[in-house]
Amino acid sequence: MTVEITMNDNDISLVGELTQQTISHALEKKAKAFFQKKNVVINLAGIKKVDTAGLAWLLTLVELASINTCTIGFTHLSEELQNLAKLTAVDAFLPS
Tell me how far the alpha carbon of residue 6 is from its chain's centroid: 12
In tens, the pLDDT along 27-72 reads: 777 777 788 888 999 999 999 999 999 999 999 999 989 988 999 9
- The amino acid at residue 35 is F
- The amino acid at residue 70 is C
pTM given for the model: 0.89
Distance from C-alpha of 26 to C-alpha of 48, rounded to nearest angstrom: 20
Determine phi and psi for 68, rounding to 5 degrees. Answer: -95, 15
